[in-house]
Chains A and B, each alone.
Chain A
C-alpha cells in the first residue's frame, strides 16, 4: 500500500463479502424450494428470494468494483483520494440503500423488473450515491500526477455503468419496450461497460503480479476492450430475438453474439501470456490464481456457454429456461466475482501488512468455490437441457417437467454446499488478515 486513503477499499470489500454471504443464503432458499422444501414460503416466497439473490449480486459486485477503484486509483494517479470522509459516507449510504431495498422486497415493495427490482425512490438514491463515488474517483484522477490507461479504462467503465443505469428508469406501457430498454442497462452493463471495469482491474493486477511492461499490457487492454464493445454492443440483439421486435435483431444479434467469445478468449490469452512473459514472480500466488482464474473461467462461462445459448436457432428453444441460469452462474462467477476476489487477494496483505501468501485456507477457498460453481453450472445445464427437451419438444406440462428434473436440484444443492464452503474459507482468510493499518505503508510493493 502506497497511500493511506487506499485503506477505505478494505471496508468496501468487507461489505461485498457480507452481501455475498446473504446472496448465497437466499440461493439456498431457492434451491430447497425447488426440491419441495419451501417451509419459508410465507415469509420468503420464491420471487422474494430471487429478487434478493440477483440484486445482492449486483450490489456486492458494485461494492467490490468501488473498493477496487479506491485501491487502484490512488496508486495509478500517485496521490491520496481527494476525500476519505466522503468515501466512507458513500460506503455507508450504499450499504443503507442495499439493505432498505432488500427489506422492502420482503414486503412486496419493488418494481418487479428482472434485475432492476429496486423501487424508484431508491433508484434516485443509487444515482446520488454513484455520482458521489464518481466525483471522488474522477477528481482524484484529475488532480493526480499521472493519467494511466488502466485508470482511464477503469474510470470509463464506472462512468458508463452509472450513465447506463438511467434507461432502466424510464417507464413504458408496453412490456416489449420495457424489456427492450431494461436490456440497455443489464446487457450493456454485464457484456459491455463492466468488462471495462474487469479489464482495468485485470490490467492493474497483471502489471503488479507479472512485472510485464505497463505499455505492453495497456496496449492489449485497448485491443480487448475494443473487441468487447465491437461484439457486445450489437450483441445486445440476442435479447431481442423473441420479445416482439423486428427480425433484424436475429441477424445482427446472431452474428455479433457469435463474436462475443473472441473478446473473452483474447482476455484469457492475454492474461496467460502476460503471466508467462513476466519475469517478476510476485509471492502473492493466491492473487495470481484468482486473476488467471477470472480470465479463464469468464471465457468458459461468459464466452463459450453464452455462445451456445445465444445462437438464434438454439435460443428459440432455450429462451426462458434453466439454460439461462446455467450460463448466468458461471459467467458472473468467472468474469466478475473472481476478479473482485483477485483484487481482494492482492490488496488485502498490502493494506493489513499481514502477508499470508502461503495460506492453505486461501488455496482451498479457490479450489472448492470453483469446483462447486462448475458443479452447479453442470446441474443447471442438465436440468435446463432436459427441461427444453421435455417441455418444448415433447410438449409436456411445465410442472410435470419440473418434477422430472427435481433430482438435478439435489445435485445443485450439494455443489452449492461445496461452493459455499469455499466462500466461507475465503471469508475466514479475509478475517485472519485483520484490519488495515497505516503501518502497512512501509511494506509496499
Chain B
C-alpha cells in the first residue's frame, strides 16, 4: 500500500516534471520558427487598434480568436465577412448599433481610431489558427472553398 511519503514524492516529482515540460513546450511554441501570427506585420496601427479593443472591453460582448463573451459576433474574420466600410460605420456610429434589436455601445470613434481597429482585425484575420479559421466564420469558410 502507498505510504504518505511515497504520495508526497509522487506529488512533488510529478508537479516539478510537468512544470518543466510545460515551460519547455512554451519556449518551443513561442520560438521564432514557430510563429503563426505574422509578427512582422504588428504595425503601430495594429497595436493602437488592440489598445482600443482592450480599453473598451470589446471582449465583454464579442469573441476574438474564439475568446471573450458570447453576446455579439466572433470578429476573427470580420473584415472578410463584412468589409471595411461596414465595420467603420459601426465603430463611428454616434447612436447604438442594434442589429436584430441587440444593442452595441455607441463608441462614436474618430476615423483614425476606426482605422486602427480595422488594422487590428486585419492582422487577426491573417493568423494561422490550426483550422479554426475555417470553422469560425461561415462566410469566410465559403470563400476558402471557392
Residues of A within 8 A of B (CB): 30, 33-34, 36, 38, 41, 45-48, 50-51, 105, 108, 110-114, 117, 149, 173-180, 215, 218-220, 222-223, 225-227, 229-230, 233-234, 236-237, 240-250, 252, 316-317, 319-322, 324-325, 387, 391-392, 395-400, 402-403
Q: Check B60 against A391 for contact (C-beta < 8 Å).
A: no
- Complex CA–CA separation, A402 to B55 (angstroms): 26
Q: Check A229 against B138 for contact (C-beta < 8 Å).
A: no
Q: Check B57 against A324 for contact (C-beta < 8 Å).
A: no
Q: Check A243 against B65 for contact (C-beta < 8 Å).
A: yes
A48: B residues at CB distance < 8 A: 57, 60
A428 to chain B, nearest CB (A): 32
Considering only CB atoms and an 8 Å cut-off, how many residues of chain B contact the other chain?
A: 68
A177: B residues at CB distance < 8 A: 30
**Interface 9-residue window, one of B36-44, B85-93, B109-117:** B36-44
Q: Any chain A CB within 8 A of the CB of B79? A: no
Residue of A nearest to B22 (CB): A233
Q: Check A398 against B103 for contact (C-beta < 8 Å).
A: no
Residue of B nearest to A236 (CB): B22
Residue of B nearest to A240 (CB): B29
- Complex CA–CA separation, A403 to B7 (angstroms): 52
Q: Check A229 against B58 for contact (C-beta < 8 Å).
A: no
Q: Check B135 against A41 for contact (C-beta < 8 Å).
A: no
25 contacts between A and B (CB under 8 A): A41-B103, A45-B61, A50-B69, A108-B56, A111-B57, A112-B53, A113-B54, A149-B4, A174-B37, A174-B42, A176-B127, A215-B4, A218-B4, A229-B14, A234-B18, A234-B25, A241-B130, A244-B36, A249-B29, A321-B70, A325-B70, A392-B135, A395-B141, A402-B100, A402-B102
A113: B residues at CB distance < 8 A: 54, 59
B63: A residues at CB distance < 8 A: 320
Q: Check A220 against B7 for contact (C-beta < 8 Å).
A: yes
Name the prevailing secondary structure of the B interface residues: helix
Provided the pairs A176-B127, A226-B15 are in contact, do residues A51 and B10 lie with their beta carbons within 8 angstroms? Answer: no
A243: B residues at CB distance < 8 A: 65-67, 129
Name the prevailing secondary structure of the A interface residues: helix
Provided the pairs A243-B66, A244-B129, A249-B29 are in contact, do residues A398 and B73 lie with their beta carbons within 8 angstroms? Answer: yes
- Complex CA–CA separation, A149 to B37 (angstroms): 45
Residue of B nearest to A176 (CB): B37
Q: Check B34 against A47 for contact (C-beta < 8 Å).
A: no
Q: Check B11 against A226 for contact (C-beta < 8 Å).
A: yes
- Complex CA–CA separation, A108 to B127 (angstroms): 29
Provided the pairs A226-B14, A244-B129, A396-B138 are in contact, do residues A50 and B71 lie with their beta carbons within 8 angstroms? Answer: yes
Q: Any chain A CB within 8 A of the CB of B122? A: no
Provided the pairs A226-B7, A320-B68, A392-B138 are in contact, do residues A112 and B100 lie with their beta carbons within 8 angstroms? Answer: no
Q: Check B60 against A51 for contact (C-beta < 8 Å).
A: yes
Give the residue of A36, A222, A402 whose beta carbon is less than 8 angstroms from that of B11.
A222
User: Closest 4 interchain pairs by CB?
Assistant: A47-B60, A320-B66, A242-B132, A395-B138
- Complex CA–CA separation, A252 to B127 (angstroms): 21
Give the residue of A175, A245, A321, A397 whose beta carbon is less than 8 angstroms from that of B30.
A245
B113 to chain A, nearest CB (A): 14
B11: A residues at CB distance < 8 A: 222-223, 225-226, 229
Residue of B nearest to A218 (CB): B4
- Complex CA–CA separation, A248 to B21 (angstroms): 12
Q: Check B61 against A47 for contact (C-beta < 8 Å).
A: yes
Q: Check B70 against A322 for contact (C-beta < 8 Å).
A: yes
B135: A residues at CB distance < 8 A: 316-317, 392
Q: Check B70 against A112 for contact (C-beta < 8 Å).
A: no
Residue of A nearest to B127 (CB): A244
- Complex CA–CA separation, A398 to B74 (angstroms): 8
- Complex CA–CA separation, A51 to B58 (angstroms): 11
Provided the pairs A50-B61, A226-B14 are in contact, do residues A180 and B30 lie with their beta carbons within 8 angstroms? Answer: yes
- Complex CA–CA separation, A399 to B132 (angstroms): 20
Residue of B nearest to A395 (CB): B138
- Complex CA–CA separation, A248 to B11 (angstroms): 25
- Complex CA–CA separation, A33 to B7 (angstroms): 50
